[in-house]
Structure 1
Amino acid sequence: DVYFLLAIMNRLFAENLINLGKLKDFTDDIEILRKISKEFSPETVEDLTGISASEIRRIASEFGTAKSAVCYGRMGVSIQKFGSLCHWLINSINILTGNFDRAGGAMFTAPAFDVLASAKGSNVFNRWQSRVRRLPEFIGELPVAALSEEILTEGEGQIKALITSCGNPVLSTPNGNQLDKALENLEFMVSIDIYINETTRHADIILPPATGLENSHYDVIFNTFAVRNTAKYSEPLFAKTDGAKYDWEIFQELVHRLSGETEHLKSEPPEVKLDLGLRYGKYKLTLEDLRENPHGVDLGALQECLPNRLLTENKRINLAPEVLVKDLQRLKTEALTVSEDFSFALIGRRHLRDNNSWLHNSERLVKGKNRCTLLINALDAERLNLQNKQMVKVSSRVGTIEIPCEITENIRRGVVSIPHGYGHGRKGVQLDTAKNHAGVSLNDLTDERVLDELTGNAAFSNVKVRLELM
């Protein structure tokens, strides 16, 4: 991905397709991008990307001359060794072609409840590091790839107690088997969850909150990524069970007790903060306004908002942050690394009906043919003498699994794919439906040492693996 994006940028400069429009008035360091993209011509990267030089030229030309266009990436480009560079280049391509903060390009929402309204734009990266590997912090959080070692490595600061909330990191984080063993070593663990799953089975105490349809809902996160400004509040569909607590009641009670407070706790529902945020927001709405409009309120199309919405100190776009430019050197070194023993690249995939482990305990969603298969290119299968649905042993540095193969033309040679979220056969799991569709966990192969080294983010894609017939 990163080579492809650099080659697109290379052609935009070479064909004089740079046109920032209004962005030019508050954008810096354009020439640095010209310089760094110069060595990544389409001919240089076509073997690395599998995309011909002529095709890269065509895409760059059509993108640069289009009336409007947008380069977009999210999860797929994030979970790899160079995810940070990819997102930087995606934004840069949009900016260089003027497809940023204008209709038809990448635009920004103005949410009714705006989590960025009070942001000060200060540094929130690498202010401190993890204890064992010194991985960087981001907005107060450490990379999950560090969790196992922080539990298993003795010394001052060792994690000995853990609270999980509606997550299943044994299945969703790299080298799940190692985390599985690490959780056994904790002195105390609490899980806020409705399931006894691969992670919560280690908990000393499980605190089950009211379930989805018993909760009210206002979407804070995805209103930030929306394609139109809207606001919608959903009342609970059902009353919660007698004696049940909402998750916010559990959190507030835990904070109250752990802080040593002796006064009686008067819990405050999230609707209080929601109403305040709406009242002080751009549209001066109230929670009552949303209750009177149960299908939501349309707040209009996205509007241009830069430079006012910029959170940089000088209200300008810095196209070439030093930390990202320096990381290109790691990219050049990586291109020379080849593993003969682990010759396949493993990527994940998500199915519409069972795209994470939460959905696997619903018969309606998991029924049908087995979807926990290893996708492999037909030519690779022929070379290995593999038959469709034959069991294959897949090994990486951290582990080995056995899985049936599914031969297809819809995956590149040298690449194999396993879906995310399976692996329900572990002892102690109490998910009756999921156990009948147990499958194997992709993350028993992913490697906690393979990271986007700039951020510490786990590289779940392009994990090097070996295939063996069974």
Structure 2
Amino acid sequence: MPRTALRICPLCEATCGLTLTIEGATVTGARGDREDVFSQGFVCPKGAAFGALDADPDRLRTPLVRRDGRLREATWEEAFDAIAAAVPALVREHGAQSVGVVLGNPNVHTMAGHLYPPLLLKALGTRNLFTASTLDQMPKHVSSGLLFGDPFAIPVPDLDRTDFLLLLGANPVESNGSLCTAPDFPGRLKALRARGGTLVVVDPRRTRTAKLADRHLAARPGSDALLLAALAHTLVEERLAAPGALRDQIEGFGELAEALARFTPEDVAPACDLTAVEIRDLARDLAAAPTAAVYGRIGSCTVEYGTLASWLVDVLNILTGNLDRPGGALFPLPAAGPRPRTAGSGKGFTLGRWHSRVSGHPEAKAELPMVALAEEIETPGEGRIRALISIAANPVLSAPDGRRLDAALAGLDFMVSVDPYLNETSRHAHVVLPPPPPSQSAHHDFAFNGFAIRNQVRYTRPAVPLDADRLDECEIHARLVLAVSGMHGTAGPAAVDELAIQATLGKETADPGSPLYGQDPARLAGLLTGENGPERRLDLMLRLGPYGDRFAGATTAGTDPQAGAGPAAEADSGTAARPGSGATAHPGSRTAAGSAPAGGSAGLGLERLLAHPHGIDLGPLRPRLPGVLRTRSGRIELLPDPIAAELPRLRAALAERPAGLVLVGRRHLRSNNSWLHNVPALVGGSNRCTLHVHPADAERLGLADGGRARVTADGGSLEVPVEVTDTVRAGVVSLPHGWGHDRPGTRMAVAAAAPGVNVNQLLDGRLLDPLSGTAVLNGFPVILTPLP
């Protein structure tokens, strides 16, 4: 008989709750969980295809070990024996920096990807960490670190209560949002307009999101920072800046006004391909809205001035008084995150604490730019990366100049890949460790709850029992930590979790500021619940988190888990910050914004969470300043020195004009980077690797719809099918990323049948946002040549 089970979808940042239909051990259907406290039944095509992804016949079941130059099936013991024999020996001979670690985007969609990489890096002692962040979101981490002292203090737009939303470089109707976890993002945008709010979209393409907007500004790609600077200048010049309650928490207001003095709308408009009137009108509308939020994402991050654009997004929220207030942009408070800190000065955020060996790229958030990986492998000398551990990453497709990286990976002494597929990157590994399908894994969203538009907590245990020949993903990671640290065969994977628990409790009980100060760590560890090490660690994080029971049962009656963040935390957290905001709960919500959280919030731990299988609603986001701040001054540092030093370079961009076409990427609703191209239900239709060209450009260049063209840039050239469409503005062409599944030695039959081309091969990796090390993947010049 078929049965049902709950599972949080791991396929994008929306984290929707699913109800799976299961026959035997096979997922035969997936629909939205209507009782989920966050997503309330919403599901997108990716989530609906959960079963097809879960049962993909190309998923690896057993480890692969390279023997005699070929990857062959092996036992789990053979795989970990090979790692334990190779990696520690390389470290002993060549030092810790001879090992590099690459973390791909799917890591933040799994529990294992959050819990174990920090332990792996500590065991290895390497600083050679490369992640997908420098291909995506690092500018936002850097700007938040400089403004607020914490790179993870990223405010998100209060979608359900705002009156005015300005989106730049974002297409959440297709992507479901990013650094803004919001199930049914399209429905929330429609609700914004239905309640009389305004949506403005800045994008060189008329995306599905732009089609919903009240106003669409098709600005020139890469000009986001200039536009935002002109908006901020206008607010100051026309005396529209009104930080309100933030006034006493910011420093550098006068210096900011002076730094932006030359970014007038009249100066900036030509570089943006907008009019000065359009820019001034937008600034005035932003200032006049009862509540407003500015939100920029990948299109404004993966450009030459990505960090400046990310910084200016929050500057605008600050200048309009919309940061840290309902209806504006607020800081989430995740249940498994750190408890609120006492307001005051902190350590601040520093860039460039070390640099890459070859090109001297500065680190950001303890990471080096992904574009530096190939040269760090191929360049001889002390500190050369000889071994690589790649976890859920496919940089051959996701990073610039995949051909160079492809060749570099082939020259490694040893490589480990944790990946369910033999893909363009993992095919180079000496050992491949395949995690089980998502139905056989537990799930809690550590990362995305930190960016969620509503505080809530959910956890789902595996929907299907683990196959006898597979290892749990957390166990794979724990065994990997043991293997690289020389403990293979001397301790079991549970020891890794217990050591992590002991370290956390030891720190808490020794901290005079902790509620556990002076208590016995061993006694506290004995109180943890859970069926395994990962669940015990989750229980610990929940108990120590802002809603946790601190091992003492329910918190004191009346205690507000979001309190203690300073005076601003006492501001109204109801449905409106001021009269006329028009704020309402999301359509279909059973818990109106500001009402008591379903199931309560105090005294949280794993057992309480398990008693609420559809999750616990912890209420709307509320003001948290100044408790969020970790700057040295204890205030918002409005014009940090690294930002001030970059502004002259931005001013120089006022004189720059592209001589020809520029290229931007694009999202597809049924795609997520390179992950999902092996699922038949998610390939085809509009999800195609074609080059979008405006009719005027097509006519000028002699390109025909359905024909082919050669696209050439600094990194190389590609031959692509042409799709003539007016959804992209003149002077701009668009090609999706994540494609190029045409390399030999992979095992992804569906993807290989419709491989597409790798847009990142057009780049050679030299173009970077200097503050964050993020690759410039959008707005770079290309040349088009028609092909017969």
- The residue number in structure 2 matching 1:405 is 722
How far apart are the structure 2 equivalents of 1:39 and 1:264?
Answer: 63
3-state SS of 2:256 partner: helix
Give 1:281's aligned residue. Answer: 545
Q: Secondary structure at the match of 1:235?
A: coil
1:265 to 492, 507, 510: 492
TM-score (norm 1): 0.96
Partner of 1:448: 765
1:187 lines up with 2:506 in the alignment: no
Q: Where does 1:88-237 land on structure 2 (aligned, <5 Å)?
A: 88-115=311-338, 121-237=347-463
Q: Is residue 2:329 matched to residue 1:12?
A: no
2:56 matches 1:56: no
Which of 368, 393, 396 does residue 713 from structure 2 map onto? Answer: 396
**Structure 1 residues 325 and 176, CA gap change in structure 2 (3 angstroms):** same
3-state SS in 2 of match to 1:125: coil
Given that residues 355 and 420 in structure 1 are in contact (C-alpha distance below 8 angstroms), is that contact kept between their aligned partners in structure 2?
Answer: no
Instruction: Indicate whether 1:424 and 2:647 are aligned.
Output: no
Q: TM-score, normalised by structure 2?
A: 0.58
Extract unaligned runs of 5+ from structure 1.
none
SS in 2 for 1:357: coil
| Residues 1:320 and 2:547 aligned together | no
Q: Separation in 2 of the partners of 1:116 and 1:388?
A: 56
1:85-119: CA deviation from partner (whole Å, max 9, x where unpaired): 00111101110110100011001111111157689
| Structure 2 counterpart of 1:359 | 676
Render the CA deviation track for 1:119-158: whole Å, top value 9, x for unaligned. 9644352110101111111222111011011111111111
Q: What is the alpha-carbon distance in structure 2 between the residues aligned to residue 266 and residue 466 of structure 1?
A: 53
CA distance in 2, matches of 1:116, 1:95: 24
Taking the aligned partners of 1:408 and 1:45, their CA distance within structure 2 comes to 28
* Matched position secondary structure for 1:294: coil
1:360·1:434 contact (CA, 8 Å) conserved in 2? yes
- Could you report, residue by residue, the CA deviation over 1:415-446 in whole angstroms, capped at 9, with x for unpaired residues? 11100111011111210011111100111112
What is the deviation of 1:195? 0.4
Contact map agreement 2:415 2:431 (CA 8 A) in 1:
yes
Distance (Å, rounded) in 2 between the aligned partners of 1:17 and 1:168: 46
Which whole-Å CA distance do the structure 2 matches of 1:255 and 1:415 have between them? 46
In the aligned structure 2, how far is the partner of 1:162 from the partner of 1:215? Answer: 26
Cα–Cα, structure 1 residues 258 and 330, in superposed 2: closer, same or farther, change >3 Å? same
8 Å contact 2:340–2:627 — kept in the other structure?
A: no
- Secondary structure of the residue aligned to 2:677 is helix
Could you tell me which amino acid in structure 1 is paired with residue 492 of structure 2? L
1:302 alignment partner in structure 2: 621
TM-fit CA distance, 1:74? 2.1
For residue 335 of structure 1, report the CA deviation from its aligned partner.
4.1
Counterpart residue number, 1:433: 750
User: Displacement of 1:237 after TM fit?
Assistant: 0.9
Partner residue of 1:415? 732
SS in 1 for 2:377: helix
Of the candidates 16, 25, 29, which is equivalent to residue 248 of structure 2?
Answer: 25
Counterpart of 1:398, as a letter, is: G
Q: Secondary structure at the match of 1:460?
A: coil
SS in structure 2 of the partner of residue 150 of structure 1: helix
- Contact residue 715 and residue 763 of structure 2 kept, 8 A: yes
In structure 2, runs of 5+ residues without a counterpart are: 1-223, 498-532, 549-603
Q: 1:406 to 1:122 in 2, by over 3 A?
A: same
Q: Is the 8 A contact 1:109 1:229 kept in 2?
A: yes
Between the aligned residues of both structures, percent identity stands at 43
Match of residue 696, structure 2, among 373, 379, 385:
379
**2-side partners of 1:300 and 1:172: how far apart?**
37
CA distance in structure 2 between the partners assigned to 1:113 and 1:44 by the alignment: 47
Aligned 8 A contact 1:216 1:236 in 2: yes
C-alpha deviation, 1:337, in angstroms: 4.6
Q: Deviations over 1:169-219 (max 9, x none)?
A: 111011111111111111111111110111111111111111211110110
> 2:667 touches 2:736 (CA, 8 Å); kept in 1?
yes
When the two structures are aligned, how many residues end up with a matched partner? 468
Structure 1 residues 232 and 369: alpha-carbon distance in aligned structure 2, compared to 1, 3 A threshold: closer
Asked whether the equivalents of residues 210 and 247 of structure 1 are also in contact (C-alpha less than 8 Å), the reply is yes
Contact 1:447–1:463, Cα closer than 8 Å, also in 2 = no
d(CA) in 2 for partners of 1:469 and 1:144?
33
Task: Please list, as runs of the form range in 1=range in 2, the aligned pairs for 1:239-258 lying within 5 A after superposition.
Answer: 239-258=465-484
Whole-angstrom distance in 1 between the partners of 2:347 and 2:724: 49
Shift of 1:38: 1.6
Q: Per the alignment, do residues 188 and 388 of structure 1 end up closer, same or farther by CA in structure 2, a change over 3 Å counting?
A: same
1:462 aligns to what? 779
Equivalent residue, structure 2, for 1:76: 299
